[in-house]
Amino acid sequence: MRRIALGDHSSLQIEINAVNPAAVPECRFMGSEKVVGALREAMMMNLNSWSSTATLRENLERVLGRPFPPPPAESHQDESPSYDCGICMGFHLDGASPDYVCANPKCGQAFHPKCLQDWLLSVPTTRQNFSFLLGSCPYCKELVNLAVV
C-alpha cells in the first residue's frame, strides 16, 4: 500500500495487485470532498484509458487528468541524488537509514532494505536465489540484487 500526495491537501492511497500489477490498483482518495470528489469523478470518466503497457504513474496521471507533484528528489535545485528512501520517502524507518543505493550511476536512488524487499516481493518478475532477491529498481528498472532482510 502506498500513499501519493496530490497537492491541495489531498492524497491517493493505492494498493497494487501483486498477481496483476498492470491492472487498475485499488484506490482511496483522502482530503476534502470538494477536491477528492472532482478527482473521483475524473477517474471514473477516464478509467477506460488505463493501459497495461504504461507505467503506474502515467496511467494515474492520465485517468486523474492532472500531473503529480514532483517527488522531493526532483524539486531540489542541484542534481545530487536523494538520500531519502525512494519507496517510503522517509529517512528513518525503525531506526535504520536508507543504506541500499541503486548501482546505476544515472539513478543512485537510496532505499531502506526492508522497503526494497517488500517492493521486490510484490513484483511478480522478482526472482529469489538462495538468500538474495533479484529484481528491477522501482526508479530506473536496472537490476538490483538485495540480500533478504
pLDDT in tens, 8-24: 667 788 998 888 888 99
94: CATH: 3.30.40.10
Whether residue 10 contacts residue 29, with contact meaning beta carbons closer than 8 Å, is answered with: yes
* 102 shares its domain with 119: yes
15: CATH: 3.10.110.20
* 8 shares its domain with 27: yes
Please report which confidence band the pLDDT of residue 105 belongs to, taking 50, 70 and 90 as the band edges. Answer: confident
Please determine, for residue 6, whether its predicted confidence score (pLDDT) is greater than 50.
Answer: yes
Gap between the Cα atoms of 14 and 61, Å rounded = 13
Structural domain span for residue 135: 72-147
User: In the predicted model, what is the mean pLDDT of the chain?
Assistant: 84
Residue with cell 542541484: 78
Nearest to 23 by CA among 51, 1, 64: 51
Task: Examine the fold and report which residue of 64, 83, 116 is the final residue of a domain before the chain moves on.
Answer: 64
Task: Examine the fold and report which residue of 64, 93, 109 is the final residue of a domain before the chain moves on.
Answer: 64
Put simply, whether the predicted model's pTM sits higher than 0.85 gets the answer no
* 12 shares its domain with 41: yes
Angle at 65 between CA 123 and CA 1, to 5 degrees: 30
* 55 shares its domain with 84: no
What is the pLDDT, as a whole number, of residue 78?
45
Gap between the Cα atoms of 126 and 143, Å rounded = 10
* 98 shares its domain with 130: yes
